[in-house]
Every structure is written in C-alpha cells, then in structure tokens.
Structure 1
Amino acid sequence: MEKLYDQYDRVHDYVRLSITDRCNLRCVYCMPKEGLPFFPTDKVLSQDEIVQMIENFAEMGISKVRITGGEPLLRTDVVDIVRRIKAVKGIDDVSITTNGLFLTKKAKALKEAGLDRLNISLDTFQAQRYKEITRGGNIEQVLDGINAAAELNFNKIKLNVVLIKGQNDDEVLDFLKYTQYHDVNVRFIEFMPIGNSEKTWKKEYVGLQNVFKTCEQNGLEYSPIELKGNGPSDNYQIKGFKGSFGLIHPISSKFCENCNRLRITADGYVKACLYWNEEIDIRKAIPDKKEFQRLIQKLLDRKPLNHEMAMDESDRVIDKAPTWRHMSQIGG
C-alpha cells in the first residue's frame, strides 16, 4: 500500500474529517459569542462524497479517521457515516470528537456501527461554570453521556480539557482525581490562538507545567505510559489510579514534529496545518482519484515543519497568515 509523505518525510496515515460546522454550543475558545453563519446544506460534504473521499485516502495509506465538527452528532446520518467509513478497506480505526450532549441517545448505535474510540469535550465539573464556558450547555447531559459510553466498552474514552486562566485552571486536581475510579484519559490542552485575538489569548493562556505541579503539591506519584491512539499527547498515570492523563501542548512544546494528520473541513477543503490559512479545495476532485491524489500531495509538499517556524520558512507557505476559520470550522 502507498504511503503519504510530506516534504520532511513524515508519514501521514490519519485524517481528521469535519462533517458539519454546526454546533449546539458556543464554547468561548471555539466560537464567538454571537455565533457564526453556518454553511448552507449544499456546501457541506454529502455522505456519499465523504465515503468516496475516505476510499481515496485509504488507497493512499490513510488508516485512521477521526470524525469531528462543529458537533458531529448533529448530523442525522452520523451513524451511517461511521458504519460506511469503518467498512472501507484499509481503515482500521474510526473515532469521534463530540461535546457529549447526544451520547445517551447515540452512543450504542455508534458502537454497533463500528466506532472504536470517543473524545468528549469537558472543561469543568461545575454546572454553572460549564454553562458559562459553553454559553448555555447542561453538564448533566454530558456526564450522563460519558456514563452511557463507559458501559459500551469503547477502546478508549478521552476527555478533552482546554485550560483557560481564571475559568477552569483551578480544577486540575478535580480532573486528576476523576481518573482514580474512571478508566478514561483526561487530556489537558493548551488554549490556542485560533479565532482569538492575540491580547485575549495571552491573557487566558495557561502552561501545562501546572498539571505536574498539582500532582507534586498533592502527593500524587505519576509515571509516563504509552497509549494507543492518534493524538499528540504525552501520557501519564497516577500510581494506583484506574485512568490516566495526557498533556497536549501546541504552544510550549514540540507539538508538530511528528504530525501525521490532514484535516478536511466540512465544506471540502484540506488543511495540512491547523494554524495556517493554507488550504486546497478538493471537493470537485473526489470522483477523480488521480487528481485527488495530486492535490493532496501538492499540499503535503508545502506543509511547514511546524506552525511556529513557518514564518521563518515563508517560501514554503502559500498563505502567510493564520487561518481565517474558527476552531468549529476546522474540526480541531
């Protein structure tokens, strides 16, 4: 089987696929308070286009697919999408990132369709704070969804926690203690300057060294572990705890050096880097495998080494500006 390489000889075997830009929340780090104009239905990739695209990718060496949004469970055909992607020859891992609000209704059907893993966004355990961070969300629905999913024996359930100064950085210990009796991987993620002003981002950024400090201050002994999956997290387990925790630090550490992913937006553009505006429209090329492959390789040939260094390599970046898209329009 072929393999996809970028200009730095990194093998790409992982696609993050946004199937909608719509979301039922307005999280402070993901979308502006007033919301965003959503794509009209005809601008969003259809189920058949999605499946054909994944078949193309599978022939190019892609074996892992993460379905994202917006909120992917808002699509009424999400279960069918999972089932059809899982059936594609060469695809051996299918996962979803969700806010968890619909998991009580859809977790069982997703598991039966072949979904392997779940990432659930949960930035606080406090009901009022959750409502403020998400601008209206009900945390009980999410916790019920996590419990429903936990009973279905997914390969792994991960909780995504974006740390924001003054909003939830005082809950690190609560999340660490959650892993004592729950077999989940809590992933602490640095707040990224995507869709946010530099002033706002710098004011709210929290470095992840605080997680280690919290462990040490509370006598929690931890050690590094290996976890199967596609994420860029460094993972650890506290002695005697059932679950684990991970750190994803795109700002303070080497987030990009082993990047193995491509991102597909809901309107059919491929992005090789989360941060930069560089992207190519591949929707029309989906029926033409040769042209599709040419466009994908064209983008990979120009993929920067990392988002921080790209400005020093200006000749390798098509659009030397940060992405115009908010996180909800990329899929993370």
Structure 2
Amino acid sequence: MRDGNGRKIDYIRISVTDRCNLRCRYCMPEEGIDLMRHEDILTYQEILKIAETGARLGIRRVKVTGGEPLVRKGVSQLIRELNAIEGMEDVTLTTNGLLLGDMAPELAEAGLSSVNVSLDTLDPERFSQITRRDRFADVMKGIESAVRSGLKVKINCAVMEHLSREDVLAFAEYSVKSGIPVRFIEMMPIGQGRKYHAMDNEELLKILSEEYGDLRESTEPRGNGPAVYYTYASGAGCIGLISAVHHKFCGSCNRVRLTSDGFLKLCLDSPAGVDLRTPLRSGVSDEELRGLMEQWIRVKPESHHFLSPEGREGELPLSDGTTEKCLNMNQIGG
C-alpha cells in the first residue's frame, strides 16, 4: 500500500523482545532498564496475525529485531511461519551475534535469508568498553557460523565520535578479506544515543579514499534498507553508509515498526502510531485489524525532525497535551 505521501510501504521491522544480553552504551544504561512484563509482550500468534494482515496490505519483507531477538525462545519457528505467509518474500534478522554461533544452522533451515550483525569495533578491548561485556570472540564465531550456514551477512557499525580512523580502516580491510559488507550507520539521537555525535559521511569517505583510492558507488541491490554502498577500485570489499539524520532519506522510507508490546510505530522520530495489542486481545476481526493498520499507515509522518531546534530531550509532547517519554532503541526495535 501507499501512505499519504505516496510512499510504497512494503517493509516491517518486528521487535520480538526488549531484552538483551549486552549493555551497549548508546542503547541501554549499565544497570539495564525496567523490562516489560512477559504478559505485555506480543505472543508469536499475535505477531503472525499482524504480519499476515500486513501482507494483505502489501508488506513483503520482515526484519526480526529486539532487544536481542535470539534471546527469545522459539524465534526460529516464528521465522519459519513468517516465511510461510502468503505474499511474504523475505525474512531477515538483526542480532548482536552472541547466540548466532549455535543458532545459525536452524535459522537458515527455517528460511532466514540474511542477518545483520551489530558490531562497532574489531578491537576486543574496545568491544568490551562499548558493550560492557567481554564477548567479542562469540560474535566473531557467530558471523563465521552464519556464513557457513549459507546466510547472507552484513555488519552494522554504529558511527560515534569515538570511531577512529583505525576502526574505519580495520572494517574496510575486514570487508576486503571476508567479502562481508560493512555498513556505517549514523548514530540517531534516540534514548542513550542522544549523548553521542557521529562522524559524518564525508569524513568516512575521505578516510577510505585516502587508503583505497577512488570509491565506486554500487548499484547492486544488497538488502531492504536505505544504505548507499561503495566498492573499491579493486572490486573487493563493500562499504555502506546509512545517515538518517544529516542525509535523510524520509522521501523514500518504505517501513513501519512493530514494538514488542504491540505498538505499530510509524517513524522512529515520532510518537505517531497505534496500539494493536489491545484490539487483538479484545477479539478484533481480521477486517477490522486490516482497516486499523491501513488507516494509520496512511498517516505515516512525512519526515523526521531530529535536527529541529527543540531537539528530542526528555519527553515528547503529544497532541492531547500529555507527553511520551523518549525510549531507548532496545524498546523500539531499531
């Protein structure tokens, strides 16, 4: 379907949990957060009903997220059932990789096509500082297992001011040697991420060009997202840039998000959306659910306002005069 601005909405990111086995500094405070009650989180049956309704509206691709999605039991079976939905073309997953080593074969067997692994450094010591956990070896083991299992793998690196030239070049070399694309994703001012600033795309490209010569923009499709990809003159390696704040791509945004407690969120930078859990648990019919989702997707905001003068600190004002607290990324689903 198309929203009120004519954009084709065919992609949904579904958070299956707000729980995570890391404590990345830009995502969660060290002590963690107040977690949702298990009974407040959507069941897999509820998620599937929403996904089936989305498919009837033209949703063709699903990204399973968290928190960390692999900490929720039975996620492989969910992926299998998402794949079985009529009209669904692609089911992928974003993970921190800690549990991927053991789970990659069953995820591939369930029909998962690819995984994005969040990894912000190739330095084990820096990894421990960023994530507050000494688990770098487990992530690398997970990446290797995913590749062996036949999954397409991409690395997602959050771009913060602490990202150094050495980090950028280490990832570039890793991509050359492994053939795995590395995507540098601009830090967004959401939750804990408001404390950080990002290295801009121009500086990233300058570092890469100085080391590898001219970069060539690639037109080869490499996923469902908005990354701009570059390859080196040699043809080896692939770097992607996603800069939602300073190089916004709202005009071509094709996605909505479902939080783990059933809120259909229309934009990361907006409280706009609708609670689907309550009507589901109140016996809403299939047609009523379809109508509700279609009604709200049509009013998806035209653009984010991360750079507006009032900023995004503290609480967000709502139209009824109340406020909504800014959420951390693990509570939104990314």
Please list, as runs of the form range in 1=range in 2, the aligned pairs for 1:126-275 lying within 5 A after superposition: 126-154=123-151, 156-168=152-164, 170-196=166-192, 198=194, 200-201=195-196, 204-225=197-218, 226-275=220-269
Cα separation, 2, equivalents of 1:322 and 1:228: 35
Amino acid in the other structure paired with 1:260: N
The sequence identity of aligned pairs, in percent, is 37
TM (norm. structure 2) is 0.90
Residue type matched to 1:160 in 2? N
Gaps of 5+ in 2: 310-317
What's the offset of the Cα at 1:309?
8.2
1:253-311 Cα deviation digits (max 9, x unpaired)? 12211001010000000001011122310123345222222222232232221102897
| Post-superposition offset of 1:318 | 4.8
Q: Which amino acid letter does the alignment assign opposite residue 238 of structure 1?
A: Y
TM-score of the aligned structures, taking structure 1 as reference length: 0.91
Change (3 A) 1:6 1:266: same
Alignment partner of 1:43 out of 35, 40, 45: 40
Q: 1:185 to 1:258 in 2, by over 3 A?
A: same
Question: Equivalents in 2 of 1:325, 1:319: separation in Å?
Answer: 19
Contact preservation (8 Å) 1:276, 1:319: no
Matched residue type, 1:303: K
Deviation (angstroms), 1:114: 0.3
Give yes or no for the alignment of 1:123 onto 2:116: no
Q: Which residue of 1 aligns with 2:331?
A: 329
Amino acid at match of 2:329: M
May I ask how many residue pairs the two structures share in their alignment?
321
Once structures 1 and 2 are overlaid, which stretch shifts more, 167-176 or 140-149? 167-176
> Unpaired segments of 5 or more residues in structure 1?
none
Q: RMSD across aligned C-alpha pairs, in angstroms? A: 2.1
Q: Tell me the secondary structure at the aligned position of residue 77 of structure 2.
A: helix
Structure 1 residues 281 and 168: CA distance shift in structure 2, 3 A: farther
Describe the SS at the equivalent of 1:181. helix
Moved more, 25-34 or 319-328: 319-328
Hey, what's the Cα distance between the residues in 2 that align with 1:251 and 1:295? 30
Map of 1:54 onto structure 2: 51
Separation (CA, whole Å) in 1 of partners of 2:307 and 2:125: 40
Q: Give me the whole-angstrom Cα distance separating, in 2, the residues matched to 1:51 and 1:230.
A: 20
* Structure 1 counterpart of 2:314: none
C-alpha separation in 2, matches of 1:243 and 1:190 = 20
Alpha-carbon separation, structure 1, partners of 2:193 and 2:178: 36
SS state at 1:160 partner: strand
